[in-house]
Structure 1
Amino acid sequence: MGMRATNTTKDATQRHVNDMLDTLRGEHYRHTQNVSRARRVPPSTGNRTAPNLPFFLEYYSSAPAPKRQSGPPPPRSWTQSASVTDTPNWRASRLAPVFACLPEPSHTDDFPPLARLCLRSLLSLYTTDELIEEVAPLLPGHLRRLLVRDAAIHAPFSTAQLLRLGGEEGHIEDELVIVGPAAGLREDHAVRLAQNARTFTTEKWDADDDAGAQPLQSLVILSARLTSSALLKLPPSLTHLALINLPDTILLYRLPSVCPLLVFLDLSHNSWLNEHDRRVDLMRVDWTRWTQLKRLVLRGCYVPHELPAKVNKSRWDDVAIIQE
């Protein structure tokens, strides 16, 4: 018993001595810091001056801000109305419905995806020709398709540039977006697209993607001319077709026989549909031939009040008609 009591007393004394030593060391350290007046900074784990955001965001931060002038804005009569149809915002609003219904995710500017940020950074580093000749061949198909969509809003490609991007197939991953007035669909281009669609046999539909290129399935034409000869030679494989703000009239009643597989059709902002002599064009279309049609967009143009009944005649499911 005496031995245990002695050991317990020694342990308590040793702990007390250790506590006193720790206290003295702490007081000595604080005293030394106060004397030297050294700033107590936590150790750095890295370079705090280095940027912590992706480098390509500098492309957006360095974009020039819109210039503001003092005084009230100029009257609307002083502005050129033609320039309104040649802005990214205008093109984005016209292309939004079709981009939202294409097989790939919708194209929105509210929260641009990482892939689009990277592509726009490439646009800031290379010229258009360099991008098409050197960068685009290295990109996978879905990124080249995203590149064309984004360029259609911010800096549309010309006809020659689209042909170089499309290669032998004439399109980019079964999709083609044409924005005028710098671009258009030539008749020989339409013929090549139709030939590729006809040579695509039934066996290739069931084969892997690597077995061959898919035919054109989505065609978007904005503010570009579409001749009657080119329209009649469109490939029958089309499922999504957008003919927006076309400067000239087209043979609407011929579309069902040319493109019988349409699921989506956009005829918005065609001012010639508002003309008195052209208001019957939509009623002349044989809508029953489009058995797979799901959505019809008719924004900014005249729509006869009898049209919904004619479009949905003999259908189990009504076609969604978008007018606003």
Structure 2
Amino acid sequence: MMTTGESSQVSRRVNELLANARAEHTRHVQNLTRAARHAPSPTVYSPTLPFLLPTPVIPEPAPAAQHPAHPQPKKPAGPSPPRSWVSHSSPSNPGVDLLSAAPISCSLRRELLSSVFRRLPTPWNVEEFLTLVDWCLLSLLDPFDADAIFDLPAHLRRRLVRLAALRCPLTREQLEVCWGDGYSGTGGEAIIIGREAYGALRQLLHALRRASEAPAPEEAWDTPLHLLAAPPIPVLHTLVLVKTPLPSLALLPRTLTHLSLVRCTFDSIRTARNLPKSLPLLEWIEVNECEGIDGAWFEGVDWGRWAGLVGVRLVPAPLEGLVVDGGVPRVREKENWQERVRKRIENGRMGEVEICFD
């Protein structure tokens, strides 16, 4: 057992140890403070390399030379003439190959065919967005997949011919594939773009002529089944020709109700005299920039024979004589023949006829 004297010695020893520890800690803190106060400042290194791309010095532009103002040519008094009076002095987009698959050619064909497509018995607005079915059909054209097209339903093959008229004109062989056996793919309309497809049109017209002249088979017990089951050729009601010659009027079926001739060639005298007699059921006709056709030709057509006519679009071929010195068109001459043609078309009709000259 520890005595009182020994206990006091132990306490004194503990107090000394604590005092020494506090003194040692105080000296350590003071040393750190003095070291931080006398520490050297950090060295800052500045860049020694020059700039690789100095700011270019742009010289001030030289003052423009002062030229005397040229007198502006005087315009004729009065308002500017309507667009329909001055739009025929030159062809639409001269120099553009109308039969090419280039984008500018596709745009021109779209512009020329949009009018007739909107007025077909099954109208189509070419400005509308293409559907997924349309894009699938277009994929069959490049490269041309004859086997897949041959297996398509008739209404899709007719749609494909319309799409191809805008995107890439079909040749004779390709058009025959789209029309199919028995010409079921026509759907009653034939769209011919360029002379390469003209042969297919002639074959179609001859087939229609033979079908109309052939007697209907009589149903008897010994009649071959293939004669009774043979589907008839669809009645042709629409004919659209672009950059092709017009076939003989004797070959054209009298069932036509829509006729569009765009930059075509034909006998102007015979056509003007015989067209109304050959196609009496026409409801809509377009003659657009056809070779050698002017305002006088439109006046020579017997418009009164078309009792069911509801719309016409008449654009004469570009003529050099429509512009005089100074670039002022002879609008008075155009105004005169257009007014005379309008009166001949509207004379004696009960209903209104849509007439367009551009």
1:248, CA displacement in angstroms?
Answer: 4.5
**Change in CA separation of 1:169 and 1:284 when aligned onto 2, cut-off 3 Å:** farther
Listed as ranges, the matches of 1:12-51 within 5 Å are none
1:158, CA displacement in angstroms?
Answer: 1.4
Match of 1:281 among 297, 300, 306: 297
Output the CA distance in 2 between the equivalents of 1:196 and 1:92.
Answer: 34
1:146 pairs with 2:164? no
Q: 2:81 maps to which residue?
A: none
**Change in CA separation of 1:90 and 1:198 when aligned onto 2, cut-off 3 Å:** farther
Output the CA distance in 2 between the equivalents of 1:154 and 1:199.
Answer: 38
1:183 pairs with 2:201? no
| Structure 1 contact 179–222 (Cα < 8 Å) conserved | yes
Output the CA distance in 2 between the equivalents of 1:100 and 1:282.
Answer: 23
Partner of 2:121, secondary structure, is coil
Output the CA distance in 1 between the equivalents of 2:203 and 2:292.
Answer: 26
Partner of 1:311, secondary structure, is helix
Q: 1:59 maps to which residue?
A: none
Q: 2:133 maps to which residue?
A: 115
Structure 2: which amino acid aligns with 1:240? Answer: H
| Structure 1 contact 94–244 (Cα < 8 Å) conserved | yes
Output the CA distance in 2 between the equivalents of 1:117 and 1:167.
Answer: 21
1:284, CA displacement in angstroms?
Answer: 1.9
Q: 2:179 maps to which residue?
A: 166
1:106 pairs with 2:124? yes
Q: 1:225 maps to which residue?
A: 245
In terms of mean alpha carbon deviation, does 191-200 or 302-311 score higher?
191-200
Give me the identity figure in percent: 27
1:282, CA displacement in angstroms?
Answer: 1.6
1:220, CA displacement in angstroms?
Answer: 0.3
1:140, CA displacement in angstroms?
Answer: 1.4
| Structure 1 contact 84–90 (Cα < 8 Å) conserved | no
Q: 1:297 maps to which residue?
A: 313
1:252 pairs with 2:296? no
Structure 1: which amino acid aligns with 2:188? Answer: D
Output the CA distance in 1 between the equivalents of 2:210 and 2:342.
Answer: 34
| Structure 1 contact 249–272 (Cα < 8 Å) conserved | no
Structure 1: which amino acid aligns with 2:197? Answer: A
Q: TM-score, normalised by structure 2?
A: 0.57
Output the CA distance in 2 between the equivalents of 1:196 and 1:295.
Answer: 30
| Aligned-CA RMSD value | 2.7
**Change in CA separation of 1:239 and 1:200 when aligned onto 2, cut-off 3 Å:** farther
Structure 2: which amino acid aligns with 1:141? Answer: A
In terms of mean alpha carbon deviation, does 155-164 or 175-184 score higher?
155-164
Higher helix fraction (1 or 2) = 1
1:265, CA displacement in angstroms?
Answer: 0.5
In terms of mean alpha carbon deviation, does 232-241 or 190-199 score higher?
190-199
1:315 pairs with 2:330? no
Q: 1:306 maps to which residue?
A: 340
1:267, CA displacement in angstroms?
Answer: 0.6
1:194 pairs with 2:209? yes
**Change in CA separation of 1:192 and 1:307 when aligned onto 2, cut-off 3 Å:** same
Q: TM-score, normalised by structure 1?
A: 0.62
Structure 1: which amino acid aligns with 2:301? Answer: V
**Change in CA separation of 1:194 and 1:295 when aligned onto 2, cut-off 3 Å:** farther
Output the CA distance in 2 between the equivalents of 1:297 and 1:200.
Answer: 38
Show CA shifts across 1:246-285 (max 9, x none): 14444132111111111111111224223xxxx4222222
Q: 1:266 maps to which residue?
A: 286
Output the CA distance in 2 between the equivalents of 1:107 and 1:145.
Answer: 15
Q: 1:3 maps to which residue?
A: none
Partner of 1:115, secondary structure, is helix
**Change in CA separation of 1:169 and 1:255 when aligned onto 2, cut-off 3 Å:** farther
Listed as ranges, the matches of 1:39-118 within 5 Å are 81-86=94-99, 87-118=105-136
Match of 1:214 among 227, 231, 234: 234
1:154, CA displacement in angstroms?
Answer: 1.1
